A and B are shown apart, each in its own frame.
Chain A
Protein backbone atom coordinates (compact mmCIF):
# COMPACT_ATOMS: atom_id res chain seq x y z
CA UNK A 1 0.00 0.00 0.00
CA UNK A 2 2.78 2.37 0.88
CA UNK A 3 3.82 1.87 -2.73
CA UNK A 4 0.63 3.54 -3.90
CA UNK A 5 1.03 6.35 -1.42
CA UNK A 6 4.62 6.93 -2.48
CA UNK A 7 3.62 7.17 -6.10
CA UNK A 8 0.87 9.65 -5.32
CA UNK A 9 3.21 11.68 -3.21
CA UNK A 10 5.81 11.76 -5.97
CA UNK A 11 3.20 12.81 -8.52
CA UNK A 12 2.12 15.77 -6.39
CA UNK A 13 5.71 16.81 -5.70
CA UNK A 14 6.55 16.50 -9.38
CA UNK A 15 3.38 18.33 -10.41
CA UNK A 16 2.26 15.47 -12.67
CA UNK A 17 -1.29 16.70 -12.83
CA UNK A 18 -2.23 14.45 -15.74
CA UNK A 19 -1.54 11.25 -13.81
CA UNK A 20 -2.87 12.03 -10.39
CA UNK A 21 -6.51 11.04 -10.82
CA UNK A 22 -5.66 7.58 -12.13
CA UNK A 23 -3.08 7.03 -9.38
CA UNK A 24 -5.54 7.95 -6.65
CA UNK A 25 -8.21 5.79 -8.24
CA UNK A 26 -5.84 2.81 -8.31
CA UNK A 27 -4.88 3.34 -4.69
CA UNK A 28 -8.52 3.44 -3.64
CA UNK A 29 -9.31 0.31 -5.62
CA UNK A 30 -6.40 -1.43 -3.96
CA UNK A 31 -8.07 -0.64 -0.66
CA UNK A 32 -6.24 2.46 0.54
CA UNK A 33 -7.91 4.25 3.41
CA UNK A 34 -9.15 7.62 2.08
CA UNK A 35 -8.06 9.70 5.02
CA UNK A 36 -4.62 8.06 5.14
CA UNK A 37 -4.33 8.82 1.47
CA UNK A 38 -5.11 12.46 2.08
CA UNK A 39 -2.83 12.90 5.07
CA UNK A 40 0.09 10.64 4.24
CA UNK A 41 0.23 11.20 0.50
CA UNK A 42 -1.48 14.37 -0.71
CA UNK A 43 -0.80 16.67 2.22
CA UNK A 44 2.53 15.10 3.06
CA UNK A 45 3.57 15.87 -0.50
CA UNK A 46 2.60 19.52 -0.14
CA UNK A 47 4.68 19.73 3.03
CA UNK A 48 7.68 18.69 0.95
CA UNK A 49 6.74 21.18 -1.77
CA UNK A 50 6.42 23.97 0.81
CA UNK A 51 9.85 23.15 2.23
CA UNK A 52 11.43 23.08 -1.23
CA UNK A 53 9.85 26.44 -2.02
CA UNK A 54 11.06 27.95 1.23
CA UNK A 55 14.58 26.73 0.47
CA UNK A 56 14.53 28.20 -3.04
CA UNK A 57 14.77 24.82 -4.76
CA UNK A 58 11.50 25.36 -6.61
CA UNK A 59 9.53 28.49 -7.50
CA UNK A 60 5.93 29.68 -7.75
CA UNK A 61 5.15 27.93 -11.08
CA UNK A 62 6.08 24.51 -9.67
CA UNK A 63 4.28 25.20 -6.40
CA UNK A 64 1.09 26.22 -8.22
CA UNK A 65 1.14 23.06 -10.33
CA UNK A 66 1.70 20.87 -7.27
CA UNK A 67 -1.24 22.57 -5.56
CA UNK A 68 -3.43 22.00 -8.60
CA UNK A 69 -2.31 18.36 -8.69
CA UNK A 70 -3.10 17.91 -5.01
CA UNK A 71 -6.56 19.37 -5.53
CA UNK A 72 -7.26 17.05 -8.46
CA UNK A 73 -6.31 14.09 -6.28
CA UNK A 74 -8.43 15.39 -3.46
CA UNK A 75 -11.47 15.60 -5.72
CA UNK A 76 -11.20 11.87 -6.35
CA UNK A 77 -10.83 10.93 -2.67
CA UNK A 78 -13.39 13.22 -1.10
CA UNK A 79 -16.54 11.35 -2.16
CA UNK A 80 -15.03 8.19 -0.63
CA UNK A 81 -14.59 9.59 2.83
CA UNK A 82 -16.93 8.12 5.42
CA UNK A 83 -19.59 10.55 6.63
CA UNK A 84 -17.71 11.34 9.82
CA UNK A 85 -14.40 11.82 8.11
CA UNK A 86 -15.71 14.14 5.45
CA UNK A 87 -16.84 16.58 8.09
CA UNK A 88 -14.69 19.64 7.73
CA UNK A 89 -11.98 20.24 10.28
CA UNK A 90 -13.16 23.80 10.63
CA UNK A 91 -14.02 26.86 8.62
CA UNK A 92 -11.44 29.38 7.49
CA UNK A 93 -12.15 32.74 5.88
CA UNK A 94 -9.17 33.93 3.82
CA UNK A 95 -8.61 37.38 2.33
CA UNK A 96 -6.04 39.91 1.20
CA UNK A 97 -6.55 43.23 2.98
CA UNK A 98 -7.74 46.56 1.61
CA UNK A 99 -5.49 48.26 -0.95
CA UNK A 100 -3.58 45.07 -1.65
CA UNK A 101 -4.00 42.96 -4.77
CA UNK A 102 -1.33 40.34 -4.14
CA UNK A 103 -3.06 36.99 -3.94
CA UNK A 104 -0.71 34.25 -5.10
CA UNK A 105 0.49 33.47 -1.58
CA UNK A 106 -2.99 33.66 -0.13
CA UNK A 107 -4.35 31.36 -2.84
CA UNK A 108 -1.68 28.80 -2.05
CA UNK A 109 -2.55 28.97 1.63
CA UNK A 110 -6.24 28.50 0.75
CA UNK A 111 -5.51 25.48 -1.42
CA UNK A 112 -3.35 23.85 1.23
CA UNK A 113 -5.92 24.42 3.96
CA UNK A 114 -8.56 22.91 1.74
CA UNK A 115 -6.29 19.96 1.14
CA UNK A 116 -5.89 19.58 4.88
CA UNK A 117 -9.64 19.25 5.25
CA UNK A 118 -10.69 22.75 6.16
CA UNK A 119 -13.68 24.42 4.60
CA UNK A 120 -12.18 27.54 3.07
CA UNK A 121 -14.11 30.62 2.02
CA UNK A 122 -11.71 32.74 0.00
CA UNK A 123 -13.06 36.28 -0.19
CA UNK A 124 -10.44 37.50 -2.66
CA UNK A 125 -8.37 40.69 -2.56
CA UNK A 126 -8.75 44.34 -1.52
CA UNK A 127 -11.19 43.59 1.31
CA UNK A 128 -12.20 46.55 3.48
CA UNK A 129 -12.29 46.28 7.26
CA UNK A 130 -16.09 46.63 7.25
CA UNK A 131 -16.59 43.91 4.67
CA UNK A 132 -14.29 41.53 6.52
CA UNK A 133 -15.94 42.07 9.86
CA UNK A 134 -19.37 41.63 8.25
CA UNK A 135 -18.28 38.36 6.73
CA UNK A 136 -16.91 37.10 10.04
CA UNK A 137 -20.27 37.88 11.62
CA UNK A 138 -22.19 36.06 8.87
CA UNK A 139 -19.94 33.08 8.22
CA UNK A 140 -18.77 32.60 11.82
CA UNK A 141 -15.50 30.93 10.83
CA UNK A 142 -13.12 29.32 13.29
CA UNK A 143 -10.24 31.16 11.70
CA UNK A 144 -9.75 34.38 9.78
CA UNK A 145 -6.60 34.38 7.64
CA UNK A 146 -5.33 37.75 6.47
CA UNK A 147 -2.65 38.32 3.86
CA UNK A 148 -0.73 41.54 3.10
CA UNK A 149 2.29 41.99 0.82
CA UNK A 150 2.76 45.73 1.08
CA UNK A 151 4.20 47.60 4.03
CA UNK A 152 1.49 50.18 3.36
CA UNK A 153 -1.33 47.66 3.76
CA UNK A 154 -0.04 45.82 6.82
CA UNK A 155 -1.76 48.31 9.18
CA UNK A 156 -5.10 47.14 7.73
CA UNK A 157 -4.63 43.89 9.66
CA UNK A 158 -4.49 45.77 12.92
CA UNK A 159 -7.62 47.70 11.96
CA UNK A 160 -9.49 44.46 11.28
CA UNK A 161 -8.52 43.09 14.70
CA UNK A 162 -9.52 46.37 16.35
CA UNK A 163 -12.90 46.38 14.66
CA UNK A 164 -13.56 42.72 15.56
CA UNK A 165 -12.88 43.71 19.14
CA UNK A 166 -15.15 46.74 18.99
CA UNK A 167 -17.97 44.67 17.60
CA UNK A 168 -17.54 41.96 20.22
CA UNK A 169 -16.49 39.32 17.71
CA UNK A 170 -12.85 38.95 18.65
CA UNK A 171 -13.36 36.02 21.04
CA UNK A 172 -15.21 34.02 18.43
CA UNK A 173 -12.52 33.84 15.79
CA UNK A 174 -8.78 33.22 15.69
CA UNK A 175 -6.89 35.61 13.45
CA UNK A 176 -3.86 34.37 11.50
CA UNK A 177 -1.69 36.76 9.52
CA UNK A 178 0.89 36.29 6.80
CA UNK A 179 2.55 37.71 3.69
CA UNK A 180 6.16 38.55 2.89
CA UNK A 181 6.58 41.74 4.99
CA UNK A 182 4.73 40.37 8.02
CA UNK A 183 6.76 38.80 10.83
CA UNK A 184 6.05 37.20 14.20
CA UNK A 185 6.86 40.44 16.01
CA UNK A 186 4.31 42.38 14.00
CA UNK A 187 1.72 39.64 14.48
CA UNK A 188 2.19 39.79 18.22
CA UNK A 189 2.14 43.57 18.32
CA UNK A 190 -1.23 43.79 16.58
CA UNK A 191 -2.70 41.03 18.72
CA UNK A 192 -3.05 38.33 16.08
CA UNK A 193 -3.32 34.71 17.21
CA UNK A 194 -0.64 33.45 14.89
CA UNK A 195 1.75 34.06 12.06
CA UNK A 196 2.70 31.66 9.29
CA UNK A 197 5.75 32.13 7.07
CA UNK A 198 4.41 29.81 4.40
CA UNK A 199 1.45 27.64 3.45
CA UNK A 200 2.70 24.61 5.37
CA UNK A 201 3.03 26.67 8.54
CA UNK A 202 -0.45 28.07 7.93
CA UNK A 203 -1.86 24.54 7.89
CA UNK A 204 0.02 23.53 11.03
CA UNK A 205 -1.25 26.61 12.83
CA UNK A 206 -4.82 26.06 11.74
CA UNK A 207 -4.69 22.44 12.89
CA UNK A 208 -3.33 23.46 16.25
CA UNK A 209 -6.05 26.04 16.73
CA UNK A 210 -8.86 23.68 15.84
CA UNK A 211 -7.41 20.83 17.92
CA UNK A 212 -7.10 23.12 20.93
CA UNK A 213 -10.78 23.95 20.57
CA UNK A 214 -11.51 20.20 20.71
Chain B
Protein backbone atom coordinates (compact mmCIF):
# COMPACT_ATOMS: atom_id res chain seq x y z
CA UNK B 1 0.00 0.00 0.00
CA UNK B 2 1.33 3.38 -0.96
CA UNK B 3 0.99 5.79 1.93
CA UNK B 4 -0.85 8.55 0.11
CA UNK B 5 -3.66 10.43 1.83
CA UNK B 6 -6.49 8.51 0.23
CA UNK B 7 -5.09 5.06 0.90
CA UNK B 8 -4.23 5.92 4.49
CA UNK B 9 -7.75 7.17 5.13
CA UNK B 10 -9.40 4.16 3.48
CA UNK B 11 -7.21 1.81 5.50
CA UNK B 12 -8.11 3.74 8.64
CA UNK B 13 -11.81 3.51 7.80
CA UNK B 14 -11.79 -0.28 7.56
CA UNK B 15 -9.09 -0.94 10.11
CA UNK B 16 -8.24 -4.32 8.61
CA UNK B 17 -11.80 -5.70 9.03
CA UNK B 18 -12.70 -8.10 6.24
CA UNK B 19 -16.51 -7.99 6.11
CA UNK B 20 -19.08 -10.76 6.10
CA UNK B 21 -17.97 -12.73 3.04
CA UNK B 22 -15.20 -12.84 0.42
CA UNK B 23 -15.48 -10.35 -2.44
CA UNK B 24 -16.01 -11.47 -6.04
CA UNK B 25 -14.22 -9.41 -8.65
CA UNK B 26 -13.05 -9.32 -12.21
CA UNK B 27 -9.75 -7.52 -12.82
CA UNK B 28 -10.08 -8.69 -16.44
CA UNK B 29 -13.11 -8.97 -18.73
CA UNK B 30 -16.12 -11.13 -17.91
CA UNK B 31 -17.88 -10.05 -21.11
CA UNK B 32 -19.55 -13.08 -22.68
CA UNK B 33 -22.46 -13.73 -25.01
CA UNK B 34 -24.91 -14.23 -22.15
CA UNK B 35 -24.04 -10.87 -20.62
CA UNK B 36 -24.22 -9.16 -24.00
CA UNK B 37 -27.75 -10.46 -24.45
CA UNK B 38 -28.84 -9.30 -21.02
CA UNK B 39 -27.24 -5.87 -21.39
CA UNK B 40 -28.55 -5.64 -24.98
CA UNK B 41 -25.16 -4.53 -26.26
CA UNK B 42 -22.59 -6.38 -28.29
CA UNK B 43 -19.02 -6.21 -29.59
CA UNK B 44 -17.57 -4.18 -31.22
CA UNK B 45 -19.96 -1.49 -29.92
CA UNK B 46 -18.95 -2.16 -26.31
CA UNK B 47 -15.33 -1.32 -27.15
CA UNK B 48 -16.16 1.93 -28.87
CA UNK B 49 -19.19 3.52 -27.23
CA UNK B 50 -19.00 4.63 -23.59
CA UNK B 51 -22.63 3.97 -22.77
CA UNK B 52 -22.55 0.46 -24.26
CA UNK B 53 -19.26 -0.19 -22.51
CA UNK B 54 -20.72 0.86 -19.15
CA UNK B 55 -23.97 -1.10 -19.69
CA UNK B 56 -22.06 -4.30 -20.31
CA UNK B 57 -19.88 -3.73 -17.24
CA UNK B 58 -22.94 -3.05 -15.10
CA UNK B 59 -24.51 -6.33 -16.18
CA UNK B 60 -21.64 -8.10 -14.45
CA UNK B 61 -22.87 -6.68 -11.16
CA UNK B 62 -26.61 -6.57 -11.76
CA UNK B 63 -27.11 -9.87 -13.60
CA UNK B 64 -24.34 -11.98 -12.12
CA UNK B 65 -23.68 -10.39 -8.76
CA UNK B 66 -19.98 -9.52 -9.02
CA UNK B 67 -18.82 -6.91 -6.52
CA UNK B 68 -16.84 -5.08 -9.21
CA UNK B 69 -17.56 -3.47 -12.56
CA UNK B 70 -14.71 -3.33 -15.12
CA UNK B 71 -15.53 -1.70 -18.46
CA UNK B 72 -12.49 -2.42 -20.62
CA UNK B 73 -12.74 -5.66 -22.61
CA UNK B 74 -9.93 -5.37 -25.14
CA UNK B 75 -6.18 -5.10 -24.66
CA UNK B 76 -5.64 -2.64 -27.50
CA UNK B 77 -7.28 0.65 -26.44
CA UNK B 78 -3.88 2.32 -25.88
CA UNK B 79 -2.27 0.84 -28.99
CA UNK B 80 -5.14 2.18 -31.11
CA UNK B 81 -4.63 5.65 -29.61
CA UNK B 82 -0.91 5.39 -30.44
CA UNK B 83 -1.63 4.72 -34.09
CA UNK B 84 -1.65 0.92 -34.34
CA UNK B 85 -4.18 -0.33 -36.85
CA UNK B 86 -6.84 -2.23 -34.95
CA UNK B 87 -9.52 -4.61 -36.15
CA UNK B 88 -12.28 -4.16 -33.56
CA UNK B 89 -13.66 -7.63 -34.19
CA UNK B 90 -17.28 -8.62 -33.68
CA UNK B 91 -19.57 -10.45 -31.26
CA UNK B 92 -17.42 -13.58 -31.47
CA UNK B 93 -13.98 -12.08 -31.82
CA UNK B 94 -11.90 -9.84 -29.56
CA UNK B 95 -10.06 -6.92 -31.22
CA UNK B 96 -6.55 -7.41 -32.60
CA UNK B 97 -3.75 -5.20 -33.85
CA UNK B 98 -3.38 -5.59 -37.62
CA UNK B 99 -0.26 -3.59 -38.33
CA UNK B 100 2.54 -2.74 -35.95
CA UNK B 101 3.58 0.90 -36.39
CA UNK B 102 6.98 0.53 -34.71
CA UNK B 103 8.15 -2.84 -36.02
CA UNK B 104 11.44 -1.11 -36.86
CA UNK B 105 11.79 0.10 -33.25
CA UNK B 106 11.47 3.67 -34.47
CA UNK B 107 10.63 6.28 -31.83
CA UNK B 108 7.15 6.04 -30.44
CA UNK B 109 5.50 9.41 -30.64
CA UNK B 110 2.87 9.83 -27.97
CA UNK B 111 0.29 12.32 -29.22
CA UNK B 112 -0.17 15.18 -26.75
CA UNK B 113 -3.91 14.57 -26.82
CA UNK B 114 -3.44 10.83 -26.25
CA UNK B 115 -6.09 10.64 -23.51
CA UNK B 116 -8.60 12.32 -25.81
CA UNK B 117 -8.19 9.77 -28.62
CA UNK B 118 -11.51 7.93 -29.01
CA UNK B 119 -10.25 4.55 -27.80
CA UNK B 120 -8.98 6.08 -24.51
CA UNK B 121 -11.73 8.65 -24.06
CA UNK B 122 -14.35 5.93 -24.27
CA UNK B 123 -12.88 4.09 -21.27
CA UNK B 124 -12.66 7.27 -19.19
CA UNK B 125 -16.24 8.18 -20.04
CA UNK B 126 -17.48 4.67 -19.22
CA UNK B 127 -15.75 4.85 -15.82
CA UNK B 128 -17.48 8.18 -15.10
CA UNK B 129 -20.85 6.74 -16.09
CA UNK B 130 -20.27 3.81 -13.76
CA UNK B 131 -19.29 6.22 -10.98
CA UNK B 132 -22.60 8.01 -11.35
CA UNK B 133 -24.57 4.74 -11.29
CA UNK B 134 -22.87 2.62 -8.67
CA UNK B 135 -20.21 4.82 -7.07
CA UNK B 136 -19.75 4.01 -3.39
CA UNK B 137 -21.74 0.75 -3.75
CA UNK B 138 -19.76 -1.34 -6.22
CA UNK B 139 -15.99 -1.27 -6.73
CA UNK B 140 -15.13 0.30 -10.09
CA UNK B 141 -12.05 -1.17 -11.75
CA UNK B 142 -10.12 0.42 -14.60
CA UNK B 143 -7.49 -1.31 -16.74
CA UNK B 144 -4.31 -0.10 -18.42
CA UNK B 145 -1.69 -1.96 -20.45
CA UNK B 146 1.87 -1.76 -19.22
CA UNK B 147 4.82 -0.94 -21.50
CA UNK B 148 5.69 -4.61 -22.12
CA UNK B 149 2.26 -5.49 -23.52
CA UNK B 150 2.12 -2.26 -25.48
CA UNK B 151 5.48 -3.15 -27.03
CA UNK B 152 3.94 -6.41 -28.33
CA UNK B 153 1.33 -4.29 -30.05
CA UNK B 154 3.61 -1.54 -31.32
CA UNK B 155 6.52 -3.71 -32.52
CA UNK B 156 4.85 -7.12 -32.92
CA UNK B 157 5.27 -9.78 -30.23
CA UNK B 158 7.78 -11.97 -32.03
CA UNK B 159 9.79 -9.01 -33.22
CA UNK B 160 9.95 -7.56 -29.74
CA UNK B 161 10.93 -10.87 -28.16
CA UNK B 162 13.61 -11.42 -30.79
CA UNK B 163 15.17 -8.08 -29.84
CA UNK B 164 15.07 -9.20 -26.21
CA UNK B 165 16.76 -12.48 -27.15
CA UNK B 166 19.40 -10.72 -29.25
CA UNK B 167 20.31 -8.76 -26.16
CA UNK B 168 19.48 -5.48 -27.85
CA UNK B 169 18.77 -3.94 -24.51
CA UNK B 170 19.10 -0.36 -25.71
CA UNK B 171 16.35 -0.83 -28.28
CA UNK B 172 14.13 -2.71 -25.86
CA UNK B 173 14.60 -0.31 -22.98
CA UNK B 174 14.05 2.70 -25.21
CA UNK B 175 10.70 1.36 -26.34
CA UNK B 176 9.64 0.49 -22.79
CA UNK B 177 10.69 3.92 -21.53
CA UNK B 178 8.85 5.70 -24.32
CA UNK B 179 5.68 3.79 -23.46
CA UNK B 180 5.89 4.12 -19.69
CA UNK B 181 4.43 7.66 -19.58
CA UNK B 182 1.39 6.36 -21.50
CA UNK B 183 0.72 3.80 -18.77
CA UNK B 184 1.19 6.35 -15.98
CA UNK B 185 -1.01 8.99 -17.62
CA UNK B 186 -3.81 6.54 -18.41
CA UNK B 187 -3.80 5.07 -14.89
CA UNK B 188 -4.01 8.50 -13.30
CA UNK B 189 -6.74 9.57 -15.73
CA UNK B 190 -8.76 6.44 -14.89
CA UNK B 191 -8.56 7.21 -11.18
CA UNK B 192 -9.63 10.80 -11.89
CA UNK B 193 -12.51 9.55 -14.04
CA UNK B 194 -13.89 7.39 -11.24
CA UNK B 195 -11.97 4.14 -10.91
CA UNK B 196 -11.50 2.84 -7.36
CA UNK B 197 -8.79 0.42 -8.48
CA UNK B 198 -6.78 0.10 -11.70
CA UNK B 199 -5.41 -3.11 -13.21
CA UNK B 200 -1.92 -2.91 -14.68
CA UNK B 201 -1.81 -5.67 -17.31
CA UNK B 202 1.68 -6.46 -18.55
CA UNK B 203 2.16 -9.88 -20.10
CA UNK B 204 5.68 -10.85 -19.13
CA UNK B 205 4.42 -14.41 -18.77
CA UNK B 206 6.39 -17.60 -18.39
CA UNK B 207 4.93 -18.86 -21.65
CA UNK B 208 7.09 -16.23 -23.33
CA UNK B 209 9.86 -14.86 -21.13
CA UNK B 210 11.93 -15.81 -18.12
CA UNK B 211 11.88 -14.32 -14.64
CA UNK B 212 15.30 -12.87 -15.40
CA UNK B 213 13.83 -10.94 -18.34
CA UNK B 214 11.17 -9.52 -16.03
CA UNK B 215 13.76 -8.63 -13.46
CA UNK B 216 16.14 -6.99 -15.89
CA UNK B 217 13.77 -5.06 -18.10
CA UNK B 218 10.40 -4.64 -16.49
CA UNK B 219 10.66 -4.70 -12.71
CA UNK B 220 12.47 -1.33 -12.53
CA UNK B 221 9.82 0.16 -14.81
CA UNK B 222 6.97 -1.28 -12.76
CA UNK B 223 8.56 0.21 -9.67
CA UNK B 224 8.66 3.62 -11.32
CA UNK B 225 5.08 3.33 -12.48
CA UNK B 226 3.78 2.37 -9.06
CA UNK B 227 5.75 5.25 -7.52
CA UNK B 228 4.09 7.70 -9.88
CA UNK B 229 0.43 6.78 -9.51
CA UNK B 230 -2.10 7.16 -6.77
CA UNK B 231 -4.63 4.52 -5.84
CA UNK B 232 -4.67 0.75 -5.52
CA UNK B 233 -3.18 -1.25 -8.39
CA UNK B 234 -3.67 -4.89 -9.36
CA UNK B 235 -0.93 -6.43 -11.49
CA UNK B 236 -2.21 -8.89 -14.11
CA UNK B 237 0.23 -11.31 -15.73
CA UNK B 238 -1.39 -14.51 -16.96
CA UNK B 239 0.18 -17.92 -17.47
CA UNK B 240 2.03 -20.00 -14.92
CA UNK B 241 4.17 -17.41 -13.14
CA UNK B 242 5.15 -19.49 -10.09
CA UNK B 243 8.77 -18.76 -10.93
CA UNK B 244 8.45 -15.00 -10.42
CA UNK B 245 5.86 -14.33 -7.72
CA UNK B 246 8.36 -12.66 -5.40
CA UNK B 247 9.49 -10.34 -8.19
CA UNK B 248 5.88 -9.25 -8.74
CA UNK B 249 5.56 -8.57 -5.01
CA UNK B 250 8.52 -6.20 -5.29
CA UNK B 251 6.90 -4.12 -8.03
CA UNK B 252 4.96 -1.89 -5.67
CA UNK B 253 1.47 -3.04 -6.71
CA UNK B 254 -1.17 -3.79 -4.09
CA UNK B 255 -2.48 -7.03 -5.56
CA UNK B 256 -1.58 -9.72 -8.10
CA UNK B 257 -4.22 -11.29 -10.38
CA UNK B 258 -3.14 -14.84 -11.14
CA UNK B 259 -4.05 -18.05 -12.94
CA UNK B 260 -5.15 -21.46 -11.68
CA UNK B 261 -1.82 -22.85 -12.87
CA UNK B 262 -0.30 -21.14 -9.85
CA UNK B 263 -1.53 -22.94 -6.75
CA UNK B 264 -3.53 -20.55 -4.56
CA UNK B 265 -2.08 -21.86 -1.31
CA UNK B 266 1.41 -21.50 -2.57
CA UNK B 267 0.80 -17.97 -3.85
CA UNK B 268 -0.71 -16.90 -0.53
CA UNK B 269 2.10 -18.52 1.40
CA UNK B 270 4.85 -16.94 -0.67
CA UNK B 271 3.60 -13.38 -1.22
CA UNK B 272 0.24 -13.04 0.55
CA UNK B 273 1.76 -11.00 3.36
CA UNK B 274 2.96 -8.32 0.93
CA UNK B 275 0.29 -8.16 -1.77
CA UNK B 276 -3.35 -9.23 -1.98
CA UNK B 277 -4.19 -12.05 -4.38
CA UNK B 278 -6.97 -12.00 -6.94
CA UNK B 279 -8.23 -14.86 -9.09
CA UNK B 280 -7.79 -17.68 -9.85
CA UNK B 281 -10.58 -19.85 -11.24
CA UNK B 282 -9.53 -21.74 -14.35
CA UNK B 283 -11.02 -20.41 -17.61
CA UNK B 284 -10.67 -23.06 -20.34
CA UNK B 285 -11.48 -26.23 -18.39
CA UNK B 286 -13.68 -24.97 -15.59
CA UNK B 287 -15.49 -21.73 -16.43
CA UNK B 288 -15.87 -22.54 -20.11
CA UNK B 289 -16.29 -26.31 -20.17
CA UNK B 290 -16.98 -27.23 -16.56
CA UNK B 291 -20.19 -27.44 -14.55
CA UNK B 292 -21.23 -24.97 -11.83
CA UNK B 293 -20.16 -27.60 -9.24
CA UNK B 294 -16.64 -27.54 -10.65
CA UNK B 295 -16.55 -23.75 -10.43
CA UNK B 296 -17.90 -23.85 -6.90
CA UNK B 297 -15.21 -26.32 -5.93
CA UNK B 298 -12.38 -24.15 -7.24
CA UNK B 299 -13.85 -20.98 -5.73
CA UNK B 300 -14.08 -22.60 -2.30
CA UNK B 301 -10.51 -23.86 -2.67
CA UNK B 302 -9.30 -20.33 -3.44
CA UNK B 303 -11.30 -18.88 -0.52
CA UNK B 304 -9.92 -21.47 1.87
CA UNK B 305 -6.41 -20.80 0.59
CA UNK B 306 -6.81 -17.13 1.48
CA UNK B 307 -7.17 -15.57 -1.97
CA UNK B 308 -8.56 -12.11 -1.27
CA UNK B 309 -10.64 -11.36 -4.35
CA UNK B 310 -12.29 -14.37 -6.02
CA UNK B 311 -12.86 -14.38 -9.76
CA UNK B 312 -11.80 -15.78 -13.15
CA UNK B 313 -8.06 -16.11 -13.78
CA UNK B 314 -8.04 -14.00 -16.95
CA UNK B 315 -10.43 -12.52 -19.55
CA UNK B 316 -13.03 -15.23 -19.98
CA UNK B 317 -13.82 -16.91 -23.32
CA UNK B 318 -16.83 -15.23 -24.95
CA UNK B 319 -18.92 -18.39 -24.89
CA UNK B 320 -18.55 -18.94 -21.13
CA UNK B 321 -21.97 -19.82 -19.64
CA UNK B 322 -23.39 -17.26 -17.20
CA UNK B 323 -24.34 -20.06 -14.79
CA UNK B 324 -20.67 -20.72 -14.24
CA UNK B 325 -20.01 -17.06 -13.40
CA UNK B 326 -22.93 -17.14 -10.98
CA UNK B 327 -21.42 -20.18 -9.30
CA UNK B 328 -18.45 -18.04 -8.23
CA UNK B 329 -20.79 -15.56 -6.59
CA UNK B 330 -22.77 -18.34 -4.90
CA UNK B 331 -19.59 -19.85 -3.50
CA UNK B 332 -18.52 -16.48 -2.05
CA UNK B 333 -21.95 -15.87 -0.52
CA UNK B 334 -21.48 -18.95 1.61
CA UNK B 335 -19.04 -16.76 3.54
CA UNK B 336 -15.60 -17.49 4.79
Contact = CB atoms under 8 A, between A and B. Distances in A.
Interface string B193-232: 0000000000000111110010000000000000000000
B149 to A, nearest CB: 15
A152 interface: yes
A15 B165 contact: yes
Contacts of A62: 165
Interface string A181-192: 100000000000
Given A15-B165, A99-B93, A59 B210 contact: yes
B173 interface: no
Nearest to B172: A61
B318 A61 contact: no
Nearest to B89: A99
B189 interface: no
A58 interface: yes
B157 interface: yes
Nearest to A108: B158
B330 interface: no
Interface residues of B, number: 22
A151 B317 contact: yes
Interface in A45-65: 56, 58-65
Main secondary structure of the interface of B (DSSP, over half): mixed
B268 interface: no
Contacts of A180: 207
Given A61-B209, A99-B93, A151-B317, A104 B165 contact: no
A61 B166 CA distance: 8
B161 A60 contact: yes
B161 A152 contact: no
Interface string A98-134: 0101011001000000000000000000000000000
A175 B189 CA distance: 50
A58 B318 CA distance: 33
Given A56-B206, A104-B157, A104-B158, A181 B165 contact: no
Contacts of A107: 158
Interface of B: 92-93, 96, 157-158, 161-162, 164-166, 206-210, 213, 243, 284, 288, 317-319
A17 interface: yes
Interface in A132-182: 151-152, 180-181
Nearest to A65: B165
A121 B288 CA distance: 35
12 contacts: A15-B166, A17-B166, A56-B206, A56-B243, A61-B161, A61-B162, A61-B208, A61-B213, A63-B165, A64-B162, A65-B165, A152-B319
Contact of A152 (B208, B209, B317): B317
Nearest to A63: B165
